[in-house]
Amino acid sequence: INNSMYGSTRKTLGTRRGPSRQFIPPVLDRDDDDDELQRGNAMAGYSNHSGKNQSGKVASGDPEVDERLKNIEPKMIELITNEIMDHGPPLSWDDIAGLEFAKNVIKEIVVWPMLRPDIFKGLRGPPKGILLFGPPGTGKTLIGKCIASQSKATFFSISASSLTSKWVGEGEKMVRALFAVARCHLPAVIFIDEIDSLLSQRTDGEHDASRRIKTEFLVQLDGATTNSDERILVVGATNRPQEIDEAARRRLVKRLYIPLPDAGAREQIMHSLLSQQKCSLSQEDVNTIVQHTHGYSGSDMANLCREAALGPIRSITDIEFIDADQVRPILFKDFDEALHQVRASVSEKDLDLYIKWNRLYGSGT
């Protein structure tokens, strides 16, 4: 491979300023890392065999850009490929505790259709947008990842606030780029965290820029809906569903409440986190902890277990020299102490709000 052929692409990475002067692309200087860049380009739809370059000229040895990406800035493609496309380990439904209702609905309406588009067409066609709402730390992101793993789709994950803040002036282009790259990697799941900040109903004093991002997003979502063969699913997640305006809400056809974990789910979360640790808890201890964590979110449970796991370490004085297997097991007293440090992070008032919103706009319980 001729390295010089990436010269023109590389010059635009991190050095060129877009129309907005504030925009500083958060990319690493890859001057010394051609391999990395080539991998990124290959994944983003560039191929290394000769053909047309980005300006449409045929030049031997130049990377070929997927037709669908030819109007997209290369730096955005690179960023989407490296930072937004998720290359993490696969996830299974059993990794997500509880939430049986949401998991079943999702399997039926989105995962199966993505696996078998030949059966799920017409009336059985899948929705192109779904909304997961509920308190923070309850598994919405895990569900997004799991949908992608289970439907063998490429997972793109972005937080809507980064579109409106980090990408000042470029958010709209970024949305377009994101959908374009996704179309090159079908089937695709686009997970948008904090989607309320993208689709909020606050129009008074709303920045022109954020209105444009919102419009572009709705255009892209409508495009995906119209083109029923294109296997793209947008999964929006929010802790503030009430902020989403009506037009956007209508397009996110399935709206699933992702509640706090019940006792069984809390036990399962503890169980899976502690399974890798030396731990000495009786079933009675576990029951007591589960009872005392009513109102904890999944991530509160994870924090609790992390805090308790530090208990055995705190009593060691010579950490540098101790044998790893001499560290004592995690005991009930560690959890007892951790319960004073880690409290439930979601208020009753907020829960009430979710329940009410679910009654009005949610898709069943």
Least distance in angstroms from the C-beta of 140 to ligand ADP: 3
Least distance in angstroms from the C-beta of 72 to ligand ADP: 28
Instruction: For residue 365, count CB atoms less than 10 angstroms from its CB and return exposed for 0-12, middle for 13-18, buried for 19 or more.
Output: exposed
Could you give the 3-state DSSP secondary structure of residue 171?
helix
Compute the radius of gyration of the chain from its Cα atoms.
Answer: 24
As a whole number of angstroms, the distance between CA 58 and CA 248 comes to 42
Binding mask 68-97 for ligand ADP (x = CB under 6 A): ----------------------------xx
For residues 334 and 311, is the Cβ–Cβ distance under 8 A? yes
Please report whether residue 137 would count as binding ligand ADP according to CB under 6 A. yes
Residue 232 identity: I
Please report whether residue 38 would count as binding ligand ADP according to CB under 6 A. no
Please report whether residue 103 would count as binding ligand ADP according to CB under 6 A. no
For residues 93 and 107, is the Cβ–Cβ distance under 8 A? yes
As a whole number of angstroms, the distance between CA 363 and CA 365 comes to 7
Could you give the 3-state DSSP secondary structure of residue 32?
coil
User: Which residues from 3-32 bind ligand ADP, rule CB under 6 A?
Assistant: none
User: Which residues from 288-317 bind ligand ADP, rule CB under 6 A?
Assistant: 298-299, 302
Please report whether residue 231 would count as binding ligand ADP according to CB under 6 A. no
Using the minimum distance from each CB to ligand ADP, give the nearer residue, 63 or 144: 144
Terminal C-alpha separation, the chain: 56
Binding mask 250-269 for ligand ADP (x = CB under 6 A): -----------x---x---x
Least distance in angstroms from the C-beta of 247 to ligand ADP: 24
Q: Which two tokens stand for residue 138?
A: 């309850």
How many other C-beta atoms can be found within 10 angstroms of the C-beta atom of residue 155? 25
In the bound complex, which residue of the shown chain has the CB atom lying closest to ligand ADP?
298
Please report whether residue 223 would count as binding ligand ADP according to CB under 6 A. no
The stretch near ligand ADP (CB under 6 A) out of 38-46, 134-142, 211-219, 281-289 is 134-142
Q: What one-character DSSP code corresponds to residue 307?
A: H
Please report whether residue 190 would count as binding ligand ADP according to CB under 6 A. no
Binding site for ligand ADP (CB under 6 A): 96-99, 136-142, 237, 261, 265, 269, 298-299, 302
